[in-house]
Amino acid sequence: MKLSLDDIDYWKLSIADRLVLVQDILDSVLAETHAEPLAPQQGAQIDRRTGALDSGEMNGEPWETVRERLIAR
């Protein structure tokens, strides 16, 4: 018998466990898909952003800080 999402009481899971579940689902989707190559414009944008980060023009924020802020909402 196959379970549906309605059969799973995922609201009883902790936030951390739900995040792990979501990450596992995303990982499984990515494993089954083949990424299309980037368009030249996308590659150029990545290069611009990487250059801005490397030169200090743009500041980043550690993932831990972003995660804590999101969880606190």
pTM of the model: 0.43
Region of 48 on the Ramachandran plot (φ > 0 left; ψ -120 to 50 alpha; else beta): alpha
> What is residue 1's predicted lDDT score, i.e. its pLDDT?
61
With a cut of 50, list the residues of the chain below it in pLDDT: none
Residues 6 or more apart whose Cβ sits within 8 Å of residue 18: 10
